[in-house]
Amino acid sequence: MGLILALIMGGIMGWLASKVMNRDAQMGVFWNVVVGCIGSILGRFLLGGLIGGGSLRANAFDPLTLLTSFIGAVILLAIVNMIQRGRAR
C-alpha cells in the first residue's frame, strides 16, 4: 500500500512541479510520476538534513516530506531545462 501512495503522491508532486516550471504541456502522467519520485529522492538527499522530511513511501502525507519532494522535483526539472535548452527558465 505504501508503494501505491508513493506513486500517487509522486505523480501529484511531479505535476505541480511541471506546472511551476512550465513543462506541463510536454509531460504526460508517466513522466509526472517519474519526476515526482526521483525529485523526492533528490529533495530528501539535498534538503533532508535542513528541513527534514521522510520518504514518500513511509510518510506520504507528511507536510515536510511533500515540501522536500516538491522542491526536489522543481530542481530536477530545472536541471533538465538547463540540459535541453541551455537555461533554467
Phi, psi of 53 (to 5 degrees): 100, 145
The pLDDT tens digits along the chain (89 residues) read 778 888 888 889 999 999 998 887 777 889 888 998 898 888 888 887 777 666 666 776 778 888 888 999 999 999 888 888 776 55
Q: Where are the beta strands (DSSP E) in 13-82?
A: none
The domain ranges of the chain are 2-20+29-85
The pLDDT of residue 88 is 57
Phi, psi of 22 (to 5 degrees): 55, 40
Query: 44 near 69, Cβ under 8 Å?
Result: yes
State the Cα–Cα distance between residues 18 and 32, nearest whole angstrom. 7
2-20 vs 63-85: helix axis angle to the nearest 10?
50
The C-alpha cell at 40 is 523526492
